[in-house]
Amino acid sequence: MAPGRGVGYGRPVSEHTDTSAAFAAVGGCRECPVRCTRVVYPSHCVASRCPSLYLADRFGRRVMGCTHGVFGVEVDVERFRELQRSRAGFGGLRVWREPFDHCGCGVEPAFEHRHPGECVNPGFRASAPLSAV
């Protein structure tokens, strides 16, 4: 796992505890052993100066989050910047709510080497908005 990938360096946003099938459809596909996850890249939120990206202070740390809950955690800004300076960058966070066209998203396979054949859910793999970074 790349540094920061799938990890939020801040407290979880409390209302994002939905474990329903609807959430699973938004954030991940488990229809074959590959296990694909739809992620959103906070680096794109910052670079595009999205007005929905907010900053807040939590326990003496500056954090950032999405007002729409497209990603479900608040990210420690200092840690984000550190990881952005690394080769791998911060990476993506699992999508918790349906993203907008302007969000920078991608679909990341967890175990691509397991693939037994053709993808049986190509709609999911194509579900990231085209603005993906």
Q: Which residues bind ligand SF4 (CB under 6 A)?
A: 29, 31-32, 34-36, 40, 45, 50, 52-53, 66, 68, 70-71, 99-100, 102-103, 109, 119-121, 124-125
Q: Which is nearer to ligand SF4, 60 or 122 (CB)?
A: 122
H-assigned helices in the chain: 21-27, 42-47, 77-84, 122-125
Q: What values do phi and psi take at 40, rounded to 5? A: -120, 140
Q: Which is nearer to ligand SF4, 70 or 73 (CB)?
A: 70
Q: Smallest distance, Å, CB 127 to ligand SF4?
A: 9
Q: Smallest distance, Å, CB 128 to ligand SF4?
A: 11
Q: Smallest distance, Å, CB 133 to ligand SF4?
A: 11
Task: Quote the CA–CA distance of 27 and 21 in Å, as a whole number.
Answer: 10
Task: Quote the CA–CA distance of 49 and 43 in Å, as a whole number.
Answer: 10
Q: Which is nearer to ligand SF4, 23 or 124 (CB)?
A: 124
Q: Which is nearer to ligand SF4, 55 or 120 (CB)?
A: 120
Query: What letters, b where the CB count within 10 A reaches 16 and e where it falls short, cover 19-42?
Result: eeeebeebbbbeebebebbbbbbb
Q: Smallest distance, Å, CB 14 to ligand SF4?
A: 17
DSSP 47-74: HTT-TTEEEEEETTEEEEEETT-SB-BP
Q: Which is nearer to ligand SF4, 32 or 132 (CB)?
A: 32
Q: Smallest distance, Å, CB 53 to ligand SF4?
A: 4
